[in-house]
Amino acid sequence: MIDKPGEFELILDVFAPLAADAPGSLNLTDDAAIISPSSDQEVVVTADTIVEGVHFRSEDPPETVGVKALAVNLSDLAAMGATPHGYTLSAAWPSRASATWIKEFATGLMAMQKRHHIHLLGGDTVATSGPICVNVTAFGLVEKGSAVRRSGARPGDMLYVTGTLGDAALGLRLLTSQAGAHLSTDLQSDLIARYQQPQPRTMCSALVREHATSAIDVSDGLVADIAHLASASHVRIVIRRSAIPLSAATRQMIGNDHAQAMHVWGSGDDYELAFTAPRDWQMGKQLSEFSDVPITAIGEVFLANGNAGDVILVDENDDAIDIGESGFRHF
Amino acid sequence: MIDKPGEFELILDVFAPLAADAPGSLNLTDDAAIISPSSDQEVVVTADTIVEGVHFRSEDPPETVGVKALAVNLSDLAAMGATPHGYTLSAAWPSRASATWIKEFATGLMAMQKRHHIHLLGGDTVATSGPICVNVTAFGLVEKGSAVRRSGARPGDMLYVTGTLGDAALGLRLLTSQAGAHLSTDLQSDLIARYQQPQPRTMCSALVREHATSAIDVSDGLVADIAHLASASHVRIVIRRSAIPLSAATRQMIGNDHAQAMHVWGSGDDYELAFTAPRDWQMGKQLSEFSDVPITAIGEVFLANGNAGDVILVDENDDAIDIGESGFRHF
């Protein structure tokens, strides 16, 4: 469906180049696209929508909105251990969204396409009286039966997380308040980039597929997301607060304020991967293979003891910290 | 991403039953879903969004919105000759969308699922300050290489269309004006149902796959959609106005007013299939196999003669009718 006047030209001008090298896109000129996995592969599908005023700010550069729309989906594919293949884009634009905005948005998509070796396969654009609303449905490929689920964590496994947590929440805080003025410009930019242009850990998807017993991406907040793993795997997971990896910028901003720290890594939007793997996994060797992304052991998996799905946060003395509802967002 | 308070429960209560019998949905509890075609199949993907106030009216029963959200996508799959497999749903709800509205919406989805033997595979729900915005990305399966494209029409082929055209436009007119008061209640209901609850021609997808040289669904308006076929196939297509199939209700409403007729079947939203097939195709035999859906020959395919993409509408004397921009919508 093409609703906005001139949208047909827009598709040809702006979106066709995003699909140009993808045979399955049929150049965006047909009723549908085609994904043709090899006979030993299956297709992993994820869909995430970002809405102006909810997941991004009206003031955010349109290019960063394009980056984020793809990033939140590629992050889910990485958590399943899938290799990205392509995506469809369904966008609802209000009439105030200019051709310039849409072109810059497409520039962000193109940057992500090149980085992750994927193409636009199809989709649609419609008019809306509301905020900009961008849905991406992303497709990955895995060998049949090899997708990593949330349900495979076993007692004795360790819990790992990629990168650092809390940066995105602080990036948003920098954009919306006077906080962080004492940080260097570089550190401020780093935090803002974590919020505006999250980088999915696609490069870790092979590692997840080969070694993880369960995995999830950290999008809702650390404790909330680990609770999904614990619940699906019918285990109890203990997270060591002191082990949670924080960036230099985040350490400078929150110092030793534990409550603040818990708030920022409880806020989600970091799009790091959390996964469980056997204790005897060769961490040293693996780390050197994926040298750009630090991987940190932050906890351990235990028998549920009747409390399947429990997540317990402990301090330096192994005492449980009351997380109340603070680690959970949205539910 | 789950944004609206209580949305996690909503997913479990309302949407999990839609996914219950689909192994690839992973019960909606994972980061992504899985589509596992057999080794000789490929996946056909289409995405269409419907927006409150644009594609459906705020007053439309929520159940019909669920029907329409799936119908517009299944129609694209049928045009490709694909067998429906499943879908993802990405919905943006404003806070005024009540749990009752969402449950009734899901009832419409369930009715369509049962009719077309498909299941919900995944998706997300987000909050919006704007109108209700529902994206469905639908997946079909075809034997590798057998998807029907827009580009295969050949000179000498006939042009066929399923069902009747113009009913949806008149249904919308009945809902928004005093028109049609002279029609029986049954005929009024029929037309309104065509607008609110279009029925995709999934039952014709095998026929399209086996016999059509090119196909498209009629969603933007007859001439506009046939122009896509003509353009992709580098041919010229002549449509015989007198052959365009109209329902009894539509004939009663517009009488012999050719201008009105052109307006209603130029308005689209009928979600019938238009396709080209060789002239010697055994129409009689095929029609009896698909007895519930009338199929009508309405035109013919010719060499382009330098005017590839041309669509010419002719009257009873074979004289060309000036369609100006009237047959085209949106561009």
pLDDT digits (tens, 9 = 90+) for A189-222: 999 999 999 999 999 999 999 999 999 999 989 9
Q: Which amino acid is at A7?
A: E
B59 within some domain: yes
Query: B300 and B174 in one domain?
Result: yes
Question: pLDDT grade, residue B289 (50/70/90)?
Answer: low
pLDDT by residue (tens digit) across B122-142? 988 888 999 999 999 999 999
pLDDT lower than 50: segments of chain A: 1-5, 284, 288, 326-331
Query: A211 and A90 in one domain?
Result: no
Chain B touched by A45 (CB under 8 Å): yes
B2 within some domain: no
Query: B307 and B192 in one domain?
Result: yes
A152 within some domain: no
Answer left, alpha or beta for residue B180, where phi above 0 means left and psi between -120 and 50 means alpha.
left
Query: B301 and B193 in one domain?
Result: yes
Domain final residue, candidates B85, B114, B143: B143
Chain A touched by B53 (CB under 8 Å): yes
Query: A305 and A198 in one domain?
Result: yes
A148 within some domain: no
In sequence order, which ranges of A177-247 are alpha helices (DSSP H)?
A: 185-196, 205-211, 222-233
Q: How far is A185 from chain B (nearest CA, A)?
A: 31
Query: B175 and B314 in one domain?
Result: yes
A42 within some domain: yes
Query: A238 and A90 in one domain?
Result: no
Please compute the mean of the pLDDT values over residues B49-71 and round it to a whole number.
Answer: 96
B330 within some domain: no
Give the CATH number, domain containing residue A203: 3.90.650.10
Query: B163 and B138 in one domain?
Result: no
Chain B residue with Cα closest to A228: B29
Partner-chain contact A6 B331, CB within 8 Å? yes
Distance CA B96, CA B226 (A): 40
Distance CA B116, CA B202 (A): 7
B148 within some domain: no
DSSP A146-177: -PPPSS---TT-EEEEES-SSHHHHHHHHHHS
| Domain enclosing residue B35, as ranges | 7-143
B150 within some domain: no
Distance CA B316, CA A127 (A): 39
Q: Which of B62-71, B204-213, B274-283 has the lowest mean pLDDT?
A: B274-283
Query: B96 and B31 in one domain?
Result: yes
Q: How far is B148 from chain A (nearest CA, A)?
A: 9
Please compute the mean of the pLDDT values over residues B215-234 and round it to a whole number.
Answer: 94
Count of structural domains, chain A? 2
Partner-chain contact B42 A34, CB within 8 Å? yes
Partner-chain contact B46 A29, CB within 8 Å? no
- Contact list, A92 vs chain B (CB under 8 Å): 49, 51, 133
Give the CATH number, domain containing residue A88: 3.30.1330.10
Strand A320-321 with B41-51, pairing: unpaired
Query: B220 and B71 in one domain?
Result: no
Partner-chain contact B1 A219, CB within 8 Å? yes
Query: B317 and B268 in one domain?
Result: yes
Please compute the mean of the pLDDT values over residues B204-213 and round it to a whole number.
Answer: 93
- Contact list, B12 vs chain A (CB under 8 Å): none
Q: What number is the ipTM of this complex?
A: 0.87
Chain B touched by A216 (CB under 8 Å): yes
- Indicate whether B283 pLDDT > 70: no
Query: B213 and B112 in one domain?
Result: no
Percent of residues in chain B assigned helix, strand, coil, to nearest 5: 35, 25, 35
